[in-house]
Structures are given as C-alpha cells and as structure tokens.
Amino acid sequence: MPNQIVLEGFEDFKAMLAQLPDTLAEEAEAIVEHYAEITASSIRQAYPIGDTGKLRRGVKIQVLKRRFVAGRTVRSTSPAAHLWEFGTQNRVTRQGWRRGRMPAHKPEGLVAIAVRNRRAMVEALIAMLQKRPFEVTTRGI
C-alpha cells in the first residue's frame, strides 16, 4: 500500500487562512483604538485647564490607514505642551531679574502615560494572538 496523506477540511482551512489577516486587523484595530483613546483622555486629564484650555484641546489622535496595519498616534499639538512636559531653564531678564523656571511634570507627563498605555496595549494584542492557535491533527498515519 502506498503512503497516503488525507487532509480533511482543507478547503475550510484555506478559507480561514484567507480571512485571517482581515479578522486579525479588525480586532487589532479595535484594541489599538481603545488604548489610543485611553491615552488621549489620560493626557487631557493630566494637563491643567489653564486660562485658554489649549493644552487639553491640543491632544489629537492621528489614524494611520494601511491594509493590515492598526495604528494610532497620540500627539499634543499645543505650542506650550513641551514647556509643561519638559519645563524650562532658569529665566533671567536683560536687567538680571530672576523670573524662575517652570518645573517639568515627569511623573504623569505625556511620555509616562503613553509608555504605560502602550505596554498595556501590547499585552492586549499578544493576548488576542494567543487566542488563535491552529489545531493540526493527523489521522491514519
């Protein structure tokens, strides 16, 4: 008797593989969008309201659109955002009057919030992928 391999359900398997990139991209897109919204909201809450509210209004989410790519960029577009994030040097007038410096807000700044939420997003993406093991069985070999 010659060697023989019988694959049952191969057409279903091929159909599943064809749909897998779209399915994974949709799920990943939802996860990435969720964590981008959390990050933007956390940054808005960390910023002071101020007289104009420009710091909070300046937090924007940019969507990266490509096939099979789930991407978001959270940016603080306010011109004063870097002053709040990184602070300033000691300021002195031309006459030598000291005007102090603005301290950096490192513990809950944009970078710290983004890093924490990015780590949580990556863990969620890994968990999504771990739910998708392929099961390969052999019969009659």
In a domain, 4, yes or no: no
Contact between 36 and 74 (Cβ < 8 Å): yes
In a domain, 141, yes or no: no
Contact between 106 and 96 (Cβ < 8 Å): no
The model carries a pTM of 0.70
In a domain, 113, yes or no: yes
| Confidence at residue 141, expressed as pLDDT on a 0 to 100 scale | 44
| Confidence at residue 39, expressed as pLDDT on a 0 to 100 scale | 93
| Bridge partners, residue 74, by sequence | 61
Collapsed DSSP state (helix, strand, coil) of residue 123: helix
Range of the domain at 46: 10-130
In a domain, 2, yes or no: no
- The secondary structure of 2-56 as a DSSP string is ------TTHHHHHHHHHHHHHHHHHHHHHHHHHHHHHHHHHHHHHS--TTT-HHH
In a domain, 137, yes or no: no
Regions of the chain with pLDDT less than 50 = 134-136, 140-141
Structure tokens at 21: 């990139």
In a domain, 63, yes or no: yes
| Confidence at residue 30, expressed as pLDDT on a 0 to 100 scale | 92
